[in-house]
Chain A
Amino acid sequence: MRRFISVCLALASVGLATRVVQGARPRYGGTLRVEVEATIRSLDPAAATSDVAEAAARARVVGLVFEPLVTIDEHGLKPLLATSWESDPRGARWQIRLRSGVQLHDGSTLEAWHVASALRVSEPAWTIAVESGAVVISPREPLPDLPWLLADVRHAVVVRGSDGAFAGTGPFRIESREPGRLSLRAHDAYWNGRPFVDAIRIEMGRPAAAQLSDLESGHADVVAASALDARRITQRGLHIAASRPVDAIAVVFEPHRAMDTALAWRRTLSAAVNRASMSAVLLQRLAEPADALVPRWLSGYAPLFAFDRGPTLSRAAIAALPLDQRELTLRVDASDSLAHAIADRIAVDAREIGFTLKVQAPLGLAPRPDARLVRVRAPNTSPDRALAVLIERIANRDGGTVQATLPPGATLDAVYQAERQLLERSVVVPIVHLPDIYGFSDRVSTWNHTAVSESGAWNFADVWLRGGAP
């Protein structure tokens, strides 16, 4: 009997080990089912859109089909289609050498003129030439950090055919486009190795709740998730992956609340927000408390702001304020449940010190709020460009109250001073930085859990599916 039990245990151990090895071993084939909330109307990286959600989704999808010359990871600039670059000391003329043997989706080989043509579309102001197989870029003004700029998805290399079709060099090619659905097919001749999955089917326009439901019911493999849903996903045996914090959540006061006379209570309100508790509990440690607009991983100077907020009002002083200064309306995007939850927490913190903050999430016309909770994406680039873009995006929504001037190629100290100057007035109050979070079904496997890069890009070329094709 004992021998029989030993044999059974041995067989079970062998079976379990085989299953573990099979789970860790990549396999080819299958279709990765991805769902996004936005509807991507154009896959042209150079196309402009005012829809922030669409722009973010397009950046992710475009990264699967088209590739820029360089990219940015946690170590800095990294060659992609370019192999090297050099410039004159002022950065007025750049010469970029390309990777050889890169095959486009249409079967042709990537040439320097392809790159030059693509860059001329995305940056018409630049002078771009091809010399000795290299691409020579002469910006209108010297750009010492031009490679950082080229890492933007907007400068991905797109070869536009005469029939309007796009061809790129990414791991997937466009197979078909239907209303609400985009199908990509693995690029067999991808220069960095063929993807494991055969295809990716992207369902667009799926609401967040439906995505989560599809993920839990096994109808989707990758969905966008919120920090609020993280525990629910993991409790069901699924897993999540997050980028570095890329979205800045900030309270921006409206012009009628941005006077210098109200500076003290703006500071008081800013100081009352318990960012740490919000990040740790509400956002399940998937967010970072934000003392500055530019994320800490990008600037490094953010902690300096935490200790220098200026004088604040006591509770008695707040109680003595006129009623109209103690009652505020904070507007949030009605479709953004996470922003609504953050606003609710801000309202709780404000209530504890004597402010009454009403959260307003209008679907139509509504009275003018006192402040807005904005969500702006920090680009994956240099700190000066990131701050400039953040300020620009806030200013676009703010109507001109928020302004800062930052010269191209500014030093980190100059960036810090500019942001300090911006935040000192407490018209813009950073709250948290949020990452891109994705939920994955248990079919999705990768090595080192790198399905989503730290920058938020989709590394679906490294993903394989367990259990074969659906």
Chain B
Amino acid sequence: MRLRTRLFLLVGGVVAVAVTLVTWSISTTARRSFETLDLQRTDALVLQCRRELATQQEDVKRRLDRLASTDLVLRTAHEIGRRGTDYAPFVNEAASLAALQGLDFLDLVADDGTIISSAHWPARFGYRQSWATNRRDGASGEAFLQAIDLPGETAIGLVAVRGVPSGARTIYIAGGRRLDQEFLKSLQLPPGIRALLYRNVEAEGSRQPLIDASGQRLQAAELQPLIARVKQTGQEHAETVQWPDGPETVHAIPLAGAGGGVLGVLLVASSGRELAALMSRIRWSGIGLGFLGVVIGSALSYVVSARVTRPVEEIADAARQVAAGDWSVRVGGMHGSGEIGELAQVFDGMAAQLVEQRERLVQAERVAAWRELARRLAHELKNPLFPLRLTVDNLRRARTLPPQEFEEILDESLSTLTTGFANLNTVVGGFSEFAKMPAPAFAKVAPNEVVERVVALFRAQMQAPGCPPIAVTLELDPSPEPIRADGEQLGRVVQNLLLNAIDAMPQGGQLRVRTERNGVSFRLDVTDTGKGLTEQERQRLFTPYYTTKQHGTGLGLAIVQSVVTDHFGKVWVDSVQGKGTTFHIELPTGAQPNGANA
């Protein structure tokens, strides 16, 4: 994994973790805060419901007080008292009186409990209504909750009772307002809060007694356990109800009648759905911001990592170029300061030192080569010169000899000088030939023929009497396909390798020549069973004028390497000391590498 990738992942990961932690922290804190606020709000609304109920009670009480003191009621009461028990003329009075004060319920009740007139159930005249006459608490009586019979149903009423003098008797006006959806509407609840009214005044199973502010009857089996607990204990309870679309915290307030029985249950429900939606919005906002943060962090980390790693990569590229041989690469001008700049400067210094050392090395190599050349020249020239100097010395001494002897000595000396000059000429020619190595003339060449021709030239020498025998083995590739090469130079390569192998086996041995075509390449292996090469010899093997032989120019293998290089091939050597050496040559069959054929 690259440094840039590692840096990017590291910075990005740190940013992502940091953003996630912050988002989670904010979300958790916000949720707890909202839950606390929701709890406080619900408590406030429950208190508001109680106050609204108290306000309605006070309102009913005031309405009854006002109604009881109107002339119409006083006159009606007086008229009822005057007529005795003939209530027929007053059967419709309650409706108009109720309308006068905006009451939902109103009964005119005689002191024996007989309904004289009923606004909410006109047909019920003549029957007894006990709760009105049982609460003869006069003009100051508080309003209370009461189950009110209506045609077809029973409602919860917030009612009050007032007595009105009726001659020697008293009639009672008992009326009030219905506790229904209008009451629920009057609570003016904020969004997310709803109020429900459970009426415990109707027969079980007769109808669904749970209504909301719109008057809609609800099916709510989930609320029944809470309602049942309130009915049983008469105390407030609260619990969270799980609906399919979310939780809802429900506070149940018992609505107790005058007798203490629970006539209804007021349910104030705070929907967790709103809170959940709010939390969801916060969560998603956090996720969104977190995602944005991660994206920005990632981009930032990419930029930072790129900024940090770019000079490192450039230095690495420069190092690779240097390794590839481009010693002129410098990175010092790209970065001015800091560790990277220092690194660049060190790199440039190191590259400069390398160049300097290489130049010194080259110089040293050059000096060494010249020395070697001088040594070889001195060696090669000193050997032929020494007999020449002796011959000249003999001639000088032979001047005193008789002419005949002198002539003989002169002839011998001249022959020796001629031979010596020939040797010198040979040495100089070799050096000249190496210096004048021409460019190869590529043509279609049958490599096996070249190998066989050269081996044939040496076969007589290797098997000459008195010489240690060398057995030659040819393992030639049967493919007749020619290769593109310079046949003469290729022959010289084979010749040098064979000479080298023969020289390596002064005691005789085995020589194996092997050719092989392998796709687009031609390979030649020449193996001898000589004493092998030392490591030092292997390293300097192809150095011109280097030789381990008494009478070698040191140019044979240099020529081999030169020809192979000119044919875009390669040469290498395997050697095991004491067992022998194998020279490998590999040439492209097209004589140009990688499709660079002309």
Q: Which residues of A contact B (CB under 8 A)?
A: 228, 231-232, 274, 277, 280-282, 284-285, 341, 344-345, 347-348, 352, 358-359
Contact = CB atoms under 8 A, between A and B. Distances in A.
B88 A352 contact: no
Contacts of B151: 344, 347-348, 359
Contacts of A359: 151
Given A231-B89, A344-B151, A359-B151, A281 B127 contact: no
Contact of B123 (A231, A232, A345): A345
Given A280-B88, A348-B121, A358 B127 contact: no
Contacts of B123: 282, 341, 344-345, 347-348
Contacts of B92: 228, 231-232
Given A344-B151, A352-B127, A284 B88 contact: yes
A426 to B, nearest CB: 22
A347 B152 CA distance: 9
B87 interface: yes
B126 A281 contact: yes
B422 to A, nearest CB: 145
B91 interface: yes
A323 to B, nearest CB: 10
Contact of B89 (A284, A345, A347, A348): A284
30 contacts: A231-B89, A231-B92, A232-B92, A274-B126, A277-B126, A280-B88, A281-B87, A281-B125, A281-B126, A282-B91, A282-B123, A282-B125, A284-B88, A284-B89, A284-B91, A285-B88, A341-B122, A341-B123, A344-B121, A344-B123, A344-B151, A345-B123, A347-B123, A347-B151, A348-B121, A348-B123, A348-B124, A348-B127, A348-B151, A358-B152
A281 B121 CA distance: 14
Contacts of A277: 125-126
Nearest to B203: A356
A344 B89 CA distance: 19
Contacts of A284: 88-89, 91
A345 B121 CA distance: 9
Contacts of B152: 358
A373 to B, nearest CB: 13
B330 to A, nearest CB: 102
A369 to B, nearest CB: 15
Contacts of A232: 92
Contacts of B87: 281
Contacts of A358: 152
A281 B122 contact: no
Contacts, number: 37
Nearest to A282: B91
Contacts of A282: 91, 123, 125
Interface string B93-112: 00000000000000000000
Contacts of A347: 123, 151
Given A284-B89, A348-B127, 5 more contacts: A282-B123, A282-B125, A344-B151, A347-B123, A348-B124
Nearest to B93: A231
A337 to B, nearest CB: 11
Nearest to A283: B88
Contacts of A341: 122-123
A345 B127 CA distance: 11
B122 A344 contact: yes
A382 B363 CA distance: 161
Contacts of A344: 121-123, 151
Contacts of B121: 344, 348
Interface of B: 87-89, 91-92, 121-127, 151-152
Contacts of B91: 281-282, 284
List 7 tightest A-B contacts by C-beta distance, closest first. A344-B123, A345-B123, A281-B88, A348-B123, A281-B91, A277-B126, A348-B124
B180 to A, nearest CB: 20
Contacts of B126: 274, 277, 281
B23 to A, nearest CB: 61
A339 to B, nearest CB: 12
Contacts of B88: 280-281, 284-285
A211 to B, nearest CB: 18
Nearest to B124: A348
Contacts of B89: 231, 284
A29 to B, nearest CB: 37
A231 B126 CA distance: 18
A281 B110 CA distance: 15
Nearest to A232: B92
Contacts of A352: 127
Chain B CB within 10 Å, residue with most, of A231, A232, A274:
A231
Contacts of A348: 121, 123-124, 127, 151
A326 B152 CA distance: 14
Q: Which of A274, A344, A348, A358 has the most CB of B within 10 A?
A: A348
A344 B126 CA distance: 14
A231 B151 CA distance: 24
Nearest to B86: A280
A465 to B, nearest CB: 29
A382 B224 CA distance: 65
Nearest to A358: B152
A365 B151 CA distance: 22
A341 B123 CA distance: 7
Listed residue (B89, B123, B125, B127) with the most chain A CB atoms within 10 angstroms of its CB? B123
Contacts of A231: 89, 92
Contacts of A345: 123
B72 to A, nearest CB: 12
Nearest to B88: A281
Nearest to A352: B127
A359 B121 CA distance: 13
B126 to A, nearest CB: 5
Nearest to B117: A281
B92 to A, nearest CB: 7
A280 B91 CA distance: 10
A291 B87 CA distance: 24
A285 B91 CA distance: 12
A319 to B, nearest CB: 13
Nearest to A346: B123
Nearest to B149: A351
Nearest to B91: A281
Nearest to B128: A352
A391 to B, nearest CB: 29
A359 B152 CA distance: 9
Contacts of A285: 88
A274 B124 CA distance: 11
A340 to B, nearest CB: 10
A341 B151 CA distance: 12
A231 B93 CA distance: 10
A347 B125 CA distance: 12
B125 to A, nearest CB: 5
A357 to B, nearest CB: 10
A277 to B, nearest CB: 5
A344 B118 CA distance: 13
A392 to B, nearest CB: 31
B93 to A, nearest CB: 9
B43 to A, nearest CB: 42
A269 to B, nearest CB: 16
B82 to A, nearest CB: 16
A194 B127 CA distance: 53
A348 B118 CA distance: 12
A232 to B, nearest CB: 8
A344 B151 CA distance: 8
A104 B211 CA distance: 70
Contacts of B124: 348
A414 to B, nearest CB: 38
A116 B447 CA distance: 157
Contacts of A280: 88
A294 B210 CA distance: 49
Contacts of A274: 126
A285 to B, nearest CB: 7
B517 to A, nearest CB: 107
A344 to B, nearest CB: 4
